A and B are shown apart, each in its own frame.
Chain A
Amino acid sequence: MMERKLRGRGIAASWYGIARTATIDRAGAWAEIDDGGTGKIVTGVTEIGEGILTVLAQIAAEEMGIRPEDVTIGDNDTARAPEAAHAGATRQTYMIGNSVALASREARSALFAELADHWGVAVDTLKAFNGEVWAVETNQRVSMKDAVKICKARGVVPVGSASFTAHGTGLDPVDGSGAPWQAYVFGTQVAEVEVDTYTGEVQVLGIWAVHDVGRAINPRGVEGQIEGGVVQGLGQALMEDYQTVDGHTTTHGFAKYILPTSLDIPQINCTIVEDPDPLSPLRAKGIGEPALVPTAPAIMNAIYDAIGVRIKSLPATPEKILQALRERHAANQREIA
């Protein structure tokens, strides 16, 4: 007699490409170090919830030598901002982040050139961070607010612009050969599940999610992306199922189309691996989509480990689990007979 509730563990590995696939990708940005030592960034496409606004503010702040909360981001307007293409393809941090970094760097260079001349020091001795500018090994140090004043009094508005390119190539139409991305990430997830063999219900109790993101600009934000991806993967693994009959949906609302809610959530243990991207100034890659890829197979492998039933057709609903258990039981009976 089998125990009612059985546990198991499974793993799955994965890989993913960063930015648009099998094509050249591009993003533009404008930057200005503004009055009061604040920063202004304008770029074509930003937030869809992933946290890119904050990431861009961190990047601009780091490059300009100011603080993230001092950065204003004007964005998402085809008539007012340079093109940055679309919000998807795990491209925001990589494409727009690097574009903003380069534009901000150019604005800082314009400011540094004026300030170095004003102070009579070599431009490469200047540093800026957290709202202050100084020349190393000198007593020269001013707030960014005053640095902008000095720059503007000399007749210069410190602005910059940049376009960042990722060099993907198309695929050969016959053998598919090509270099679709210049940056790849890898991930692995382990799932621990408990299967109720009476009801067929699967509970995911733990996920260990390990993902290479290049360089984590905001680790908490990366975790948020991983946790969200894992739970979407869990939904697809166990419950979500858009169904149609002769083209008519039978799952037309959230009463029929079941999404994971708070009681479905495993403890998600994130580990961030940083393998820096050598081809971009930020060294960061991305995490949005890759986080979802290994979750469902890790859960299916864990279900197999628990009850010896391999679900090859998603989602692994209680009905499917029970059916598979019955079939396995019948097969075992035949073997015994």
Chain B
Amino acid sequence: MPKLKLELQVNGRKVSREAEPHQRLLDFLRDDLNLTGTKEGCGAGECGTCSVFVDGKLVKSCLMPVAKAAGTSVQTIEGLAAPGDLTPVQKAFHKTGASQCGYCIPGMVMAATSALRENPNAGIEEIKERLGGNICRCTGYTKIFEAVEMARDVIAGEMPAAVLEEDAVGESFIGANVRRLDAPSKVSGRLKYAADMKMPDMLQMQVLRSPHAHARIMSIDTSAAEAMDGVACVITSADVPGKDGFGVFVHDQPTMATGKVRYVGEAVAAVAAEDLLIARRAVAAIKVEYEPLPGIFFAEDARKPGAPVLHDYAPDNLVKHIPIRKGNVEAGFAQADIILEDDFSTQQVEHGYLEPEAGIAYVDADDVVVVISPSQNISHHRHMLAEIIDKPINKVRFIMSPVGGGFGGKEDMIYQGMLAICAMKTHRPVQLNFTREESIIASAKRHPSKVHYKLGLKKDGRITAIEFSMLSDGGAYGMSSEGVMRKAAILSCGPYEVDNLKIDTVAVYTNNTPSGAFRTFGGMQAQFATESMMDMAAEALGMDPFAIRRVNMMKVGSRTHTQQELTTASLDRVLDAAEKASRWESGPPTVRGPARKDMNGPDTRKPCTLGARFETATPGPTEAEKVA
């Protein structure tokens, strides 16, 4: 197709360029103009990280063909303030701590700016609704709301601009609300994440992924892909130079599928090419012959006799079983006045970091293989990659690029090995940027879990025994499952001293998307069951939920579930503070909600009704609007 001739204004400057007809405005800004403050988070208009102004209107640039931007005036995050300066909105984000990983923040700043341009007097409810198209996974939005309100008030002159500056230090920097040092680079879009980086002569990599949950690979034919113009290399597991295998605890996952695939989305082959389009076409030209195998899709089926086996080393499909025993549970239940027994389950959860996985690898002048990626564990990745590519440790270098959200999801080395091998084959820098869909199918999730719980108590609320058994779906590879089971077991029965315990946590292999590390590492799945049971017990015994927890809570000198003696313990103060802060009305949890007197306080928000929040905007641009 012929190229498009484009003329438009970008950040106040005239731009005349030729563009490819398939380009989105987002691609044009990032790839052609190097305005990488505009981020790609989903490519589907769902997350808002790519928000820009087109003729003054907030637009998701991933949804706009660049052809439609011809003749318009585009403003990006880089154009909001003069170089080196920040707008009041950006300064307020800095002041309140509204940026954490920062990846959503350029888009969020654009949405906030739009909100205050549209209505400089916007109230908090309207601000919330106007930010509704932008997802943030780190902050919980609260500091963002605070920032937008602060900026609104500063712009309107109702707050002095000095509130945006650093607070004066007292006697110590420890305990001081020092503003985040990395915030200016994030609110201005200047910080380069891995996908924003460019190196001269850099190739683009794309990955062929398994369409099967469990299948034998009969053959891989890469000849058509390799013959394509612009393809620099095609790799499969046969190209791994060293001992293949990675994982946080057990190295059971190959860099690319070897012999068989174990989940939908598993990497099978990769292509490095002159540009993304060629790489994608080449990936489509790789022919793989599969023989589908029966799969395991429910954790309960994994250990049944005759179940398909995923890994030869684990014929029972067991990833890990962690047992904890303390006291005598039979005796404990015999002492109980009441026994409650129930089942709980939690779902598989996606990390949803706004930055999809991305990375660059190159071989430097001293033959060091360098990988730049948002890895949460560069020291372990270095060890594993050294084995995989058969190099000494000091010839492997990992650089952690700014992480656009991790939450445990970037601890697994699921693509860095492929990048390194392509770089070694071509001696050129190679970059891979995941799409959102690719990130979702290929990366680990929070373990879905099922807990069976048996709880014995005396009438006074004292726990006499707990039997806790958890089964987790580890998915196709081990990743962090062993550690997650260990932490789940250790924390399982909550912050309570219990003399008689029988705890088992088990993770099994299935052909589902792998489960791995995710903020709390099994702790929340386990304690969700415990804290539900505590309230059920409180109801059965007619006790206040705080009271039953105080009866059982760990104190200094308590022995934990693993029989460790605690030398400090703060739950007494924490419970007191929570009861006081929430103005808790004491009483047993017997569905007394509707009769409670402690609700609807000034420390709650109003329930929301969609569409009822926009006040009438002031007509015409005001001074305040221009400043935002």
Binding site for B on A (CB under 8 A): 3, 5-17, 21-22, 44-51, 53-54, 57-59, 61-62, 67-69, 75-79, 83-89, 129-130, 171, 173-180, 183-190, 192, 194, 203, 205-206, 208, 210-212, 215-221, 223-224, 226-233, 235-236, 240-244, 246-249, 251-255, 257, 259-263, 265-269, 271, 273, 275, 277-278, 282, 288-290, 292-294, 296-298, 300-302, 304-308, 310, 312-315
Contacts and interface: CB of A to CB of B under 8 A. Distances in A.
A237 to B, nearest CB: 9
Given A8-B591, A236-B346, 4 more contacts: A79-B397, A85-B380, A244-B348, A305-B589
A-B pairs, 5 with minimum CB distance: A247-B213, A8-B593, A49-B101, A176-B324, A227-B140
Interface in B364-415: 368, 374, 376-380, 382, 394, 396-400, 402-408, 410-411
A297 B525 CA distance: 10
Given A76-B400, A79-B397, A171-B324, A289 B519 contact: yes
B376 A271 contact: no
Given A51-B100, A257-B352, A211 B574 contact: yes
Nearest to A224: B97
Nearest to B451: A312
A315 B100 CA distance: 26
A196 to B, nearest CB: 9
Interface residues of B, number: 156
Given A9-B584, A10-B589, A263 B129 contact: yes
Nearest to A12: B531
17 contacts: A7-B593, A8-B594, A21-B486, A46-B400, A62-B172, A68-B173, A77-B400, A88-B377, A221-B177, A227-B139, A235-B349, A236-B347, A247-B297, A249-B265, A252-B441, A253-B42, A271-B577
B531 A233 contact: no
Nearest to B322: A176
B527 interface: yes
A176 B411 contact: no
A240 B349 contact: yes
Nearest to B378: A78
A220 B97 contact: yes
A85 B527 contact: no
Given A78-B397, A232-B519, A301-B532, A267 B102 contact: no
Nearest to A302: B593
B562 A314 contact: no
B553 A13 contact: yes
Contact of B377 (A87, A186, A231, A300): A87
B379 A257 contact: no
Contact of B593 (A262, A305, A310): A305
B181 interface: yes
Nearest to B523: A293
A275 B528 CA distance: 25
B139 A224 contact: yes
Nearest to B169: A130
Contact of B603 (A83, A188, A208, A248): A208
**Secondary structure call for the A interface:** mixed
A230 B570 CA distance: 20
B143 interface: yes
Contacts of B172: 62, 129
B30 interface: no
Nearest to A279: B567
B570 A185 contact: yes
Interface stretch (B272-280, B419-427, B489-497): B489-497
Contacts of B571: 13, 15, 186, 188
A192 B601 CA distance: 10
Nearest to B563: A177
A49 B405 contact: yes
B589 A304 contact: yes
Contacts of A232: 137, 140, 407, 519
B511 interface: yes
B608 A203 contact: yes
B605 A308 contact: no
Contact of B594 (A7, A247, A294): A7
B46 A254 contact: yes
Nearest to B129: A263
Contact of A262 (B42, B145, B400, B410): B145
Given A242-B349, A292-B519, A218 B573 contact: no
Most B-side CB within 10 Å, residue of A216, A304, A305: A305
